Amino acid sequence: MPKQRFRRFDHQLYCEAVQEAFKNGKWYRNDVLSFIEKYAGIPRAEIRITYLTGDAGPKIEAVESIALYLEDVVDGILRGEEPEDMVPVKVR
């Protein structure tokens, strides 16, 4: 039986992608905190407090919210829609 070379888009894949993007201490960078505030609606203070308390609740909520947002964006792109609130990447 051949090995599967791809994974289907599902909620778990999106969550793993968000976690991978924020690993290695990136949770506390200003750009990441701004992204979380904008797309997950979680104040940066709540994320910063997790560093002191060890409570993973706000981070889990952020991952879930951003994963749902990404699902909507990807579904729109697959339907041929342009994401309206995403800023194009600038390469310098």
d(CA 40, CA 62): 5
d(CA 42, CA 48): 11
CA distances from 41 to 24, 25, 38, 49 (A): 22, 20, 6, 16
60 against 92, higher pLDDT: 60
Q: What is the DSSP letter of 7?
A: -
For the stretch 35-76, pLDDT in tens is 999 999 999 999 999 888 988 899 999 999 999 999 999 999
Whether residue 1 has pLDDT greater than 70: no
For the stretch 21-40, pLDDT in tens is 999 989 999 999 999 999 99
Classify each residue of 7-33 as buried b or exposed e, where b means 16 or more C-beta atoms within 10 Å of its C-beta: eeeeeeebbeebeeebeeeebeeeebb
